[in-house]
Amino acid sequence: MSTVLEIQNVSVSYGKVPALKNISLQVNQGEIVALLGVNGAGKSTTLRTISGLIRPKCGSIHYNGEPIHKRNAHEIVKKGLIHVPEGRRVFSTMTVEENLQLGSYCARDHLHDGLKEVYELFPRLFDRRKQLSGTLSGGEQQMLAMGRAMMGKPKLLLLDEPSMGLAPIIVRTIFDTIKKINETGTTILLVEQNARAALRLTKRAYVMELGEIVREDETENLIQDKVIEKIYLGG
C-alpha cells in the first residue's frame, strides 16, 4: 500500500505559543484515517498546515513522495490535495451551482462531469442549484462545501468537522457520503468531534492532545480502550 501523505516531526507556533509539537503521521492510499482530540488539541491546525495555509516551523510534509511544506496553498490544491475547512465557508451571495463551479478552477475540463457527480452524491444540491447558498440549511451548506471540494477531483481530501452543528439525521447522510467518496478511490483524513461516528468509518486513527499525537492505533483497539471510551466516546 503506497503512502499518500507523510508528516515527519512537524512543529507549528502561533507567535511564541506552540500549537503542534513534533507530530508525525501517515495516510496510505485508499484509507480513511481519523484524527481525534478535544477542542484545542491541534487537529484543525494540522489540516491547515498540510494544505499550506500555515507554514511549519520545522519538520516535513510529503504528498505522494513530494515535499509540500514550503508550497503555497494554491499550488497544493492543484496537486489534488483539497481541504474542506471547519465552518463550511460557502460564498453566501452566490448560487449553489456558482459555488460548485468555483471548486473546479483547477479542473476546468472536469466541470460538466464534476457537476453530474456532485449532484448524484448530493441530490438535494441539484434541487437547490439556483438558490443562494446563504439561504441553505447548515446541512445543505456542508453538502455544498464537500461538493465544491469534489469538483477539484481530489486524490486526498482533508475534512474538518463535517458533522459540526448538524442534526443527527443529516450527520448520517454526511457520513454515508464520506464513505461513498472513499469508495470511489479518494483517500481521506478526517477530523471529527463525533469520535464514535468517525471510528465507524475508519480502520486506523490518531489521537491528539495539546498539539501532540499521543496515540496511533487500529480502530477496534481504540474502541475497546476504556480511557479512550471515557474521554472521547462518551463512555
Tell whether 116 is covered by a domain: no
pLDDT given for residue 14 in this prediction: 93
Tell whether 47 is covered by a domain: yes
Tell whether 166 is covered by a domain: no
Burial class for 89, CB neighbours closer than 10 Å (0-12, 13-18, 19+): exposed
- Alpha-carbon torsion, ordered 107, 112, 118, 120, to 10 deg: -150
Tell whether 200 is covered by a domain: yes
DSSP 8-state class, residue 67: E
Neighbouring CB atoms inside 10 A of 95's CB total 16
d(CA 29, CA 16): 36
Q: Which residue range is the domain that position 29 belongs to?
A: 1-80+156-161+188-235
Tell me the backbone φ, ψ of residue 117, rounded to 5 degrees.
-65, -40
pLDDT given for residue 174 in this prediction: 92
- Structural domain total, the chain: 1
Tell whether 176 is covered by a domain: no
pLDDT given for residue 197 in this prediction: 85
Reading the block at residue 39, the C-alpha cell is 477542542
pLDDT given for residue 227 in this prediction: 76
The enclosing domain of 209 has a CATH number of 3.40.50.300
Angle made by CA atoms 231, 180, 96, in degrees to the nearest 5: 95
pLDDT given for residue 118 in this prediction: 94
SS3 (DSSP) at 60 = strand
Tell whether 140 is covered by a domain: no
Tell whether 172 is covered by a domain: no
| Helix extents (H) in the chain | 43-50, 73-78, 96-103, 111-121, 123-127, 138-150, 168-183, 195-201, 219-224, 226-232
pLDDT given for residue 96 in this prediction: 96
pLDDT under 50: residue ranges of the chain? 235
Tell whether 122 is covered by a domain: no
